[in-house]
Structures are given as C-alpha cells and as structure tokens.
Amino acid sequence: MSNLREKLKEYLHLMDQDDISQVLNELSNTELLELWHDMNDEEASEFFLLLSEKRKVEFLTHLPEGDQEWLLLSINRDSTKEILMRLEPDDLADIIQAISPEVRESVWNSLSDEAKQETRFLLKFDEDDAAGLMTPRYVALRSNITVAQAIQFIRRGVEDIETIYYVYVVDPLKRLQGVISLREILFSNDNDRIGDKMVQNVVSVREDTDQEEVAKTLEDYDFLALPVVDRYNRLLGIVTFDDVIDVIREEQTEDIYRMGAMEGSADIYLETSVWGMIKKRIPWLIILLVLGTVTTNVLDAFGSIFASAYFLTLFIPVITQTGGNSGTQSSTLIIRGLAMGDLNFRDIGRVMLKELLVGLLMGVLLGLVILLRSVFLPPGLEVYQAMVVGISLVFVVLFSSLLGALAPLVIHRLGGDPTVIAGPLMSTFIDLTGITIYSTVAKELLSL
Amino acid sequence: MSNLREKLKEYLHLMDQDDISQVLNELSNTELLELWHDMNDEEASEFFLLLSEKRKVEFLTHLPEGDQEWLLLSINRDSTKEILMRLEPDDLADIIQAISPEVRESVWNSLSDEAKQETRFLLKFDEDDAAGLMTPRYVALRSNITVAQAIQFIRRGVEDIETIYYVYVVDPLKRLQGVISLREILFSNDNDRIGDKMVQNVVSVREDTDQEEVAKTLEDYDFLALPVVDRYNRLLGIVTFDDVIDVIREEQTEDIYRMGAMEGSADIYLETSVWGMIKKRIPWLIILLVLGTVTTNVLDAFGSIFASAYFLTLFIPVITQTGGNSGTQSSTLIIRGLAMGDLNFRDIGRVMLKELLVGLLMGVLLGLVILLRSVFLPPGLEVYQAMVVGISLVFVVLFSSLLGALAPLVIHRLGGDPTVIAGPLMSTFIDLTGITIYSTVAKELLSL
C-alpha cells in the first residue's frame, strides 16, 4: 500500500495536473481509497477534484460513510450537484440515509425534481430488503412491440439505466409479464414480437425479501439482475449483481463477527469509537463469563479430588482448550454445511455417526500424545497419572465433537441462526462438560 | 426442504410427465439439488431426464463432483454427448478434471473436435488461477470496423458465447487493444468506428493471477467480466462475474475453516470420508495440544500457590476462557479489517491505543462482574479472594485484547495470512499468558 504512495510521490513533481489526473483515473477504487486514507484533508479534496466526473461518482460510493459527508461538505456546491446528478438512484438513497440531518438538507435541495422523486420512492423501503438494494431505472417494454422496435428503443435514450442487458415486459398496470435478455433480442429476427420471445415465468423477488435471500436467488440462477415486485406483481425496480456481491461480503463479515463473539454490523475498525467498540464486544463477554463460571461450581464440587491429586490441576487448561478446539471444528463444518445447503436436520444420523467415529479416533490419538508428552517431558507424570489425563481427553474430544455437530443442527431445526453457537459459546459449553468429564473420569480411575 | 418434496409427492400422481417436467424446470438449482439428495438412484436419473436440455446442463454443473460422474455414467451415451456439447468450455474442463480416469476416457471420446481442442487449451492452466476460471469464448473484433458492422457481427452467429455484453478489440496477433461494452456500442452511431469508441486502458488479469485477486479486481470495478491475458498481452479468455461469486463463496469457506482450526478446501461434509475428515482436523489439534501443554509447566512452576490457595484453581477455566474470548474478538476485527483493506500495519499505533482503552474498560467491567458473582454466589469467596480473581481478569482481558490485535497485524506485515492466528491458535497463546498473569497476580496479592 504505502509503496503506491511512495512511487506516486517520486513521480508527482515531474508531472503536470493533467498527467496526475490521468494516473489517478487509471487506478482502481481500492488503490484510490488507499491513497485517500494516507492524505490530510487538504490533499484529499484536491485529489478528489482531479478525478474524472465518472470516477468521482464511483469513488464517492466506495468511501466510508463519515468520509462521504466530509467530502460533500468540502467541495463546492456545483461539484456536489454534478456528482449527485450522476449517482445511481440506489446509491443516492444510501448516501442520503448515511449523512447527518444537517448536511442532508443542503444535499436534498441540490437534487433535481426527478432525483427527489426517485429518492423519496426508494427511502420508503427497508435498507436490508430487496427494495433497499434496487434501482428504479430499468428497461421496460410492452409485449406487442417487435425486436427491431425494441432495439431502436434501447439505442435511443436509455443512457441513465444501470443495466440494459435485461428488458422487462410489463402490462399497462406495470405488472411484470416477462423478461428477455438483450442477448436474446439481438439473436432474434427483426420482426419477431417481444411477447413471443420473452420468458414468461420470471424469477423475481418481493420488495420485502431479505437481502441475503436476494443474493442466493441471483447466484442460484447466475442472473445479472433480478426484478423486484410488490404483492400485486408490479415491477418496482431491479437489483443488479454488483449490489449482490456487496451483500455477500457484508453477510460474510457479520457471520465472522458472530463467530468471534460479537454482534452487529460490519463497521470500519478505525471509525468505531471506543464506546461503540465496547458496546459491540462486552455483551457476549459478560454472558460467556457468567455461563463460564459454572465451571467454578463444578470444580468446587469435585474439590477434594483436585486437592488430593494436584497433577490434575495442571491439565485443566489443556483439557478445556482441546475440547473447545475439536468442538469448534465440528460446529464450523456443520454451520458451513447448513449455510451452503449441503446439510439438513434429516442428515443428523449420518452426521452423528461420522462425528462419533472421527471424535473417537481423534480422541485416542490426542490421548496418546498427551500421555507420552506428560510422562516423558516435565512435569514427568507417573504412567497411571498420565493415563487418567489421556483417557479423559478421549472422552472430552469425543463428546465435544458430538456436541459441536449436534448444537447447530438443533438450532437450525428450531429456526434459529446456528452461527450464534459458533466459536466462543461452544467453547464455554464444552469447558463445562470437559471439566465434568475430566473430574468424573479422574474420580473413577483414581478411586478418590 | 422436505416440505418441497412432500408437496411434490402429493401432486405428482395427478400430473402427467409434461406437467412434472414443467414444474421441475421452474424450480431453482438449489431446489432441484434438494430433491436430488432426497431421491434414490433410479428416481434421480429419471428426474434428471425430465429436465429441459438447458436445465440439464445447468444442473450438472451445480452437482457435487461425485454425483456428476455417477450421472454421466447412468444416462445413455447420446444424452451425455448432447449435454457435454452444451456445456460452457470452463465448466466442461472442470468436469473432466473432476471425474475418475476410467470415466474420463469415454467422456473425452464423445466430445467434438472443437470441444477437445478448447478443453486441452484450458487444462493447461492451474485451477486456482485466473486462467482456471476463464472461458475461451468471447466476442473479439478489430478496431477499424464500424458500430453497425459490430452489431451485425454480434447478431449473427455468436450464440455460443458466454457473455456478449463486453466486446474485446484485438490486433492480428490477438493482443488486447481495447474493450467496449455492448451498451456503449448500442448508444453510438452506426458509422462510428469501434476503435474510436473503445476504452484503451483495459483492466485485465494475467493468466497466473490468483483467483482471489481476480475476484477483488472484478468487484472493485463492478465489471461483468475481466479479460485474461498472457505475458505478451494476448487475450486468452474472459472470467465472468458468476465464476467470481463462486470464488468469493469458496474463499469465504476456507477462511471460516481456518478460523475453526482446519486447513484445506471446502469439501462437502457428507461426502468427506472419516479418514479425510481426520486428516483435515487432527494436524491443528495436535499442534494446539502440544503448544497448550506449556500451561501445564506454568501451573507446575506456580504449584505452591495453587496448593495453598485452592480457590484459585476454581477460576482457571474462567480466566482462560474470558481471555480467549476477548483476544478472539480483537483478532477477528483486525483480520477482517486487513482483509477488507480498511487497516494496515501503519495503523498499529491507533489500533494499540484503541485496544488499550477498550481492553482496560472491558477488563474492569468483567472484573467487577466476577468479583460480585464469586462473593455473592457459590463458592462464596471472601472479598479479598474475589479481588485477586477480579484484578487478574482486568490484566488478562487487557493483555489478550492487545495481543489479539497485534498478532494479525504483525503476521500480515511479515507477508503471512493472518487468519492462521484466528480463533483456536490465539486462544492457546492467550491461555498460556492468562495462566501466567493469573498466577503472578495471585502470588503478589496473596504474598505467597
């Protein structure tokens, strides 16, 4: 990253503004963002003004929300107006939602009447639904026109449309009747009717379909865009593949956060305040801490065992950690399988059987490792002591593999999101059962 | 899922084959896959033959690898030939790589000469590189033709092309000179030259570019497709957005696996053998177990403390677990920030400062929780004992937050993949430092 900046610095004094502008316009949005983050305020706004009109608009939509607002304030009114005019309606609506109320008013006033109307229409919908992703600009035709007319229609005046590659066929009430790709249109004869060539069973999503389902549907059919309809099947807009890729990345981040015991949205680290960070992180830590203290009570109940065989205490962290790891593995595999649609609750028998075998074999292997390690390396246990630790580990690994697989299957079956059980929560449960198994096995084997 | 099957069963006896066929063809690929997994072999091949030719091809590419082979064997030779003929070249090459050598020969023999040639060309490249994703079928034109000629060219005979929405301009040596979208062509005048309208600075990827970078590039520019060139800038093929979405999903799975302490590819759970599963899972478990046993030695070294203040033993799991959780949170946030490009090594100062504040505040909060909990609930510690546990927890949470953030930054800086430090490996290190902090604090405070 900083390489790019240093290289640019080296050359910048050799170039005039046009050269610099050309170089900047050839960089990708990610590269531009890197430069942006490296600059002070004055440099940043100068840099922005060197971009082409098209790149300005693109770059603005890629900026973090806080920076968007700053940028719109720091450039002059005419530039702002020009940029806002060029934004896709869905991006414009996103920006208007993101900026603070004070700035919003001046931005709103600089919009054209058409843009105001489109934005008002889009702001009615929930950001996380299909309608929150859609653009209201698409190509729509009647079914009775010919291919030649359609081509002519497209070639004239649809320059503002995000994608012209799908043409939607609607009736006079705007109800969706069919869809035809531009490809299909071009491959048809000039005199063919659109209505005869279109696909009538249109795959569409409802305005309130969750964005993740929109993404799955588009992926599933490998479409470039999906139409969004209301409950009367009236066409409201279309969602394009690039918005869907953003959704996939966003959901991915939220899943990963949940596996790291955090809730909430995919904020940018450096832009989250200390307090915002604590709000995101502390709830799960407190819940897990309180749940985890049940191990304290279990250890207390078995207190005499640990007091009379001190070597057992030495292996408490190893037992809980290894159980946690094997349980996390199982739950990760099952959660992913459920998310990808490879697994279902009715596979529970096959899953449990596999985890039984895998858990048992891995348990025996790991038990042997700990046995050998604790006899031959410090603290140099007696063999019978090492056996207690090793045999406990077999049961702990077996049990945690089974629990790690079972829990997400059951949660999924009950309609919950299995990622809540991933990682830390799973380890906490497994700590508890691990300590219980360990204490019980030790008690039996040592006849305490 | 099973709902779909039950509904279909209810209606199936009322329908003739054409009706059934129509219903099946309206289902999405995911729905078809669900049905497929529910059926026995005979049902499965009957079901497949009821699909339209187009859907057969689509469905085949969505099937798990083992099932593809079975299916190609179970249907008759003519159907196989028909399907193979309709496959996109990149999908065909994938299938040929996936099937067993015995079946491969008969499949190979049923290919047309053109398909053989294309496949041979594609098989030269690495599956995980740009070239492994590309199709060699694209629209290429010379720069001197007119818009009207280009449209005519596209409308005639390019039916086999995966996307006609980007037209590439090449010189007689097939070197990439420019690109123009179909949209731009349609919006130009009939007599304009393609060479004057095309974009000359084409964003392309090299044949050996890693697939993840291909995905990032396409996303970054919101393109539908990217051209793949060799080192002489000769156009080899194009990668389309749907292949990129698959790459994003695949990389996502591999990252999540790594966070769950597993290596390797995104296999399907039920299709992985017990042995394959153990091979995927045991290496990390052994490494983590051996690393984790260092805690045994630390506890051994502080043995007298734990022996003389038994209440300390009761809180070992809580201390390690809470440290692990807060460390996992930090590392998750930092790893995600690095992956998304929001963070860089040079932000290390700001990151450490934030983790210092967040870790300290969270530590104090969690320390208070454990203090109150252990005084007022069983085992009902003395206040001075609970203070020891609480104060230890402050340091453990603070330290693990810092370590959790620092480790991925350093690994990233050294050119490694920070996800290796995520989750379990982080917890193991934190267990070790947590135990050390806990023992040391206890020793000082209790003057043991």
B358 with A277: Cβ contact below 8 A:
yes
The answer, yes or no, to whether residue A9 has pLDDT greater than 70, is no
Predicted pLDDT of residue A199? 92
User: How many cross-chain Cβ pairs, A to B, lie less than 8 Å apart?
Assistant: 348
In B119-148, the residues whose Cβ lies within 8 Å of chain A are none
Nearest residue on chain A to B216, judged by CA atoms?
A30
pLDDT 10s digits, B124-136:
888 888 888 898 8
CATH superfamily of B293-445: SLC41 divalent cation transporters, integral membrane domain (1.10.357.20)
The answer, yes or no, to whether residue B2 has pLDDT greater than 70, is no
pLDDT band, very low/low/confident/very high, at B5 (cuts 50, 70, 90): low
For A63, B202, B272, the CA distances from A32, given in Å and listed in that order, are 10, 17, 43
- A260 Rama class: left (phi>0) / alpha (psi -120 to 50) / beta: alpha
Which of B55, B281, B351 to probe the A interface (max A CBs under 10 A)? Answer: B281
And the tokens for A64? 């973090």
Residue the block writes with tokens 């017990």: B274
Contact A200, A177 (CB under 8 A): yes
Predicted pLDDT of residue B91? 86
CB atoms closer than 10 angstroms to residue B203 = 15
Sign of CA dihedral A378, A380, A383, A385: negative
Enter the DSSP assignment of A335: H
Predicted pLDDT of residue A266? 66
Predicted pLDDT of residue B1? 41
Contact A216, A340 (CB under 8 A): no
Distance from CA of A358 to the nearest CA of B (A): 6
Lowest mean pLDDT among A10-14, A206-210, B163-167: A10-14
Predicted pLDDT of residue A316? 94
Fold for A2-124, please state it.
MgtE N-terminal fold (1.25.60)
Name the residue among B155, B187, B245 with its Cβ closest to that of A219.
B245
pLDDT 10s digits, A314-335:
999 999 999 999 998 999 889 8
Average pLDDT of B52-78? 83
Nearest residue on chain B to A63, judged by CA atoms?
B342
Which of B285, B298, B364, B430 to probe the A interface (max A CBs under 10 A)? Answer: B285
Within this chain, domains A2-124 and A139-240 share the same CATH topology = no
Sign of CA dihedral A361, A366, A369, A370: negative
Q: Chain A partners of B379 at a C-beta cutoff of 8 Å? A: 296-297, 300
For A74, A89, A99, A113, A206, the CA distances from A77, given in Å and listed in that order, are 9, 19, 16, 17, 38
Q: Chain A partners of B316 at a C-beta cutoff of 8 Å? A: 299, 313, 316-317
CB atoms closer than 10 angstroms to residue A365 = 17
Lowest mean pLDDT among A199-213, B145-159, B413-427: B413-427
DSSP B343-387: --GGGHHHHHHHHHHHHHHHHHHHHHHHHHHHHHSTT---HHHHH
Average pLDDT of A252-257? 80
**Portion of chain B with pLDDT greater than 70, in percent:** 96
CATH superfamily of B139-247: CBS-domain (3.10.580.10)
Residue B168 has phi, psi (to 5 degrees) of: -100, 140
Average pLDDT of A28-46? 80
In B345-374, the residues whose Cβ lies within 8 Å of chain A are 346-347, 350-351, 354, 357-358, 361-362, 365-366, 369-370, 373-374
Angle between helices B89-98 and B113-123 (to 10 degrees): 70
B285 with A366: Cβ contact below 8 A:
yes
And the tokens for B191? 């007599």
B269 with A334: Cβ contact below 8 A:
yes
Average pLDDT of B248-262? 80
Which of A32, A250, A358, A389 to probe the B interface (max B CBs under 10 A)? Answer: A358
In B314-333, the residues whose Cβ lies within 8 Å of chain A are 314-318, 320-322, 324-326, 328-329, 331-333
Contact B448, B305 (CB under 8 A): yes
Provide the CATH number for the domain formed by A139-240 in this structure: 3.10.580.10
Predicted pLDDT of residue B181? 93
Q: What does pLDDT average to over chain B?
A: 87
Domain-by-domain residue ranges, chain A?
2-124, 139-240, 293-445
CATH class of B2-122: mainly alpha
The answer, yes or no, to whether residue B4 has pLDDT greater than 80, is no
B320 with A318: Cβ contact below 8 A:
no
- A2 Rama class: left (phi>0) / alpha (psi -120 to 50) / beta: alpha
B322 with A292: Cβ contact below 8 A:
yes
Distance from CA of A67 to the nearest CA of B (A): 13
Distance from CA of B389 to the nearest CA of A (A): 12
B326 with A281: Cβ contact below 8 A:
yes
Cα–Cα distance measured from residue B249 to residue B254, given in angstroms and rounded to the nearest whole number: 9
- Measure the CA angle with vertex B178, ends B174 and B180; round to 5°: 120
pLDDT band, very low/low/confident/very high, at A6 (cuts 50, 70, 90): low
Average pLDDT of A111-121? 86
- CA terminus-to-terminus distance, chain A: 62
Q: Does the CB of B26 have a partner CB in chain A at under 8 Å?
A: yes
CB atoms closer than 10 angstroms to residue B232 = 9
Distance from CA of A144 to the nearest CA of B (A): 21
